[in-house]
Chain A
C-alpha cells in the first residue's frame, strides 16, 4: 500500500483509512461491515488519468486500494466480479456494470492489469483465496460464485480456488464490453467473447506507449549519429545534424507506429522480418526522393542503421502484441538481434567513412 492511497492520520498503521476517492460514491451496509460503493460513470478525471497511462506518464502508480466494493444496490444474491487493482481495469469493469447490482472484488496485483498480473501470478489462486477470506465474502453473499475475467486464468486454478475457499470460479469474457451480454445470457460466454484479438484499435492503443518508451533511446542514437556524421576531413560540420535527427526519428516513427499499424499485412511471421520490410521500403523511398544516395557510403550506412532501428523496434513490439510465445520470441531473438547489432555497427562505420571521404 502506498501513501498515496491512504490518508495517514498518525504513524499507527491501524488508524489509516482508505482515502475517499472521487469515484467512491457512498457506502453499503453488509453483515461484514461497511463496503464502499463505486460509481459506474467515468469522470473527466478518470478519462484524463487513462490518457496519461496511454502515454506512459506515471503509469506505474495508477492503482486502487484492494478489497470489496459495491455497485448499485447489491444484495446477498448479487454476482461478484473479480478484477486487478490497476485503475484502468477497475474503470473498464465498473463502466460496463451500469444498472447492475453487484460486488467488485479488487485483488492486489501491485497496480498491474489482469493479464500481465496473471502471467506473473499476482493475479492468482492465492491472492483470490486470501482476498475472499479477508473481505469475509462468505458473509456478504449467500452464493459461492466468483466471476473472474478469462485473462486471469494463467494465474488462477479454478479447481484450487474452489477447494481452498469454497467459491466456484466462472470465467467471464476477455473484454469488459461483453459483460452486459454475458450477464444477460445467464453468465455464459460465447466463443467470440473468449477469443483475444489484436485488431487495429488494439494496436493503435499501444502506439503512444511504444513511441514514448523508445523516444529516449532514439534521442540518444540521434545525438550519437549527429556527432559522428558531422565528422569530415576538414573538421566538424553542423550541416549534418538536422539530417541525422530527421532520419533517426523517421525510423523511430516507422518502428513504433507504422509497423504496429501494418502488422497483419507485413510479410513474414517474425516481427523483426516485418520491421525489415518497412525499413527497406523506407530506405528505397529516401533514395527515390533524393534524400539518400544509394551509391555513397553514407547512403548505404543510413540504410543499415534504419534497418537496425525499425527491425529492433518491431521485434520489441512482440511484448505489446497478444499472440507471441516466449519460445518463439527467444528463437527469433537468437537470429535477429546479432544481425540487427551488426547492421547498426556496419551502418555507423559506413556513415563515418562516408564523412571522411
Chain B
C-alpha cells in the first residue's frame, strides 16, 4: 500500500553518499536500493517520513521533514497551537 503520490519530503544527496547501505537496513518500506555503490530512492511514495534513514546516515547525505502521519495528531497540534503530537490523540499506544 502506498500513500499519496509525490508528497514525501525525502531527499538524497548522491554526491555525499558513500553507499554504506545503512538506509536500506533501517527503512521500513524499502524506499532505497543500492546501485553502482550509491543509495537510490526507488520508491519515494512509500516513504512515511519517519526519519530513520536520516538519523543513521553517517555522512548526512539524506534529509526529510519528519513527523507523524496522523490526522488526529496534526489536528490537535493545530488546535493547541503546538507541533503535531500524538500525546492527546491516544493513537500512539
Report how far A195 CA is from B86 CA in the complex, Å. 23
Interface residues of A in 215-230 (CB under 8 A from B): none
> Taking A157-B55, A269-B2 as contacts, is the C-beta distance between A318 and B90 under 8 angstroms?
no
In the assembled complex, A24 has its CB within 8 A of some CB on chain B: no
Task: Indicate if the CB atoms of B93 and A59 lie closer than 8 Å.
Answer: yes
> Taking A322-B48, A325-B48 as contacts, is the C-beta distance between A150 and B92 under 8 angstroms?
no
Main secondary structure of the interface of B (DSSP, over half): loop
Interface residues on B, range: 35 or more
In the assembled complex, B35 has its CB within 8 A of some CB on chain A: no
| Chain B minimum-CB-distance residue to A117 | B92
Task: Indicate if the CB atoms of A325 and B93 lie closer than 8 Å.
Answer: no
Task: Indicate if the CB atoms of B56 and A159 lie closer than 8 Å.
Answer: yes
| Chain B minimum-CB-distance residue to A331 | B7
Task: Indicate if the CB atoms of A323 and B55 lie closer than 8 Å.
Answer: no
A153, A189, A326, most chain B CB atoms within 10 A: A326
Residues of chain A within 8 A (CB-CB) of B49 are: 325-327
In the assembled complex, A213 has its CB within 8 A of some CB on chain B: yes
In the assembled complex, B84 has its CB within 8 A of some CB on chain A: yes
Task: Indicate if the CB atoms of A209 and B90 lie closer than 8 Å.
Answer: yes
Task: Indicate if the CB atoms of A174 and B69 lie closer than 8 Å.
Answer: no
Main secondary structure of the interface of A (DSSP, over half): helix
Residues of chain B within 8 A (CB-CB) of A322 are: 28, 48
Task: Indicate if the CB atoms of A319 and B93 lie closer than 8 Å.
Answer: no
Task: Indicate if the CB atoms of B2 and A323 lie closer than 8 Å.
Answer: yes
Residues of chain B within 8 A (CB-CB) of A198 are: 1
Task: Indicate if the CB atoms of A189 and B25 lie closer than 8 Å.
Answer: yes
Interface residues of B in 38-93 (CB under 8 A from A): 46-52, 55-56, 58, 65-75, 84-86, 89-93
Task: Indicate if the CB atoms of B56 and A153 lie closer than 8 Å.
Answer: yes
| Chain A minimum-CB-distance residue to B53 | A153
Task: Indicate if the CB atoms of B93 and A329 lie closer than 8 Å.
Answer: no
Q: Which of A60, A86, A155, A325 contacts B69 (CB 8 A)?
A: A325
| Chain A minimum-CB-distance residue to B25 | A171
Report how far A26 CA is from B8 CA in the complex, Å. 49
Q: List 5 A-B contacts (CB under 8 A).
A: A56-B93, A118-B50, A318-B71, A323-B1, A330-B74
- Residues on A facing B (Cβ under 8 Å): 53, 56, 59-60, 86, 112-113, 116, 118-120, 150-151, 153-159, 171, 174, 189, 191, 194-196, 198, 209, 213, 263-264, 269-271, 315-316, 318-333, 337
New A-B pairs, 4, CB < 8 Å, besides A213-B90, A325-B47, A332-B4: A116-B92, A119-B66, A323-B2, A326-B68
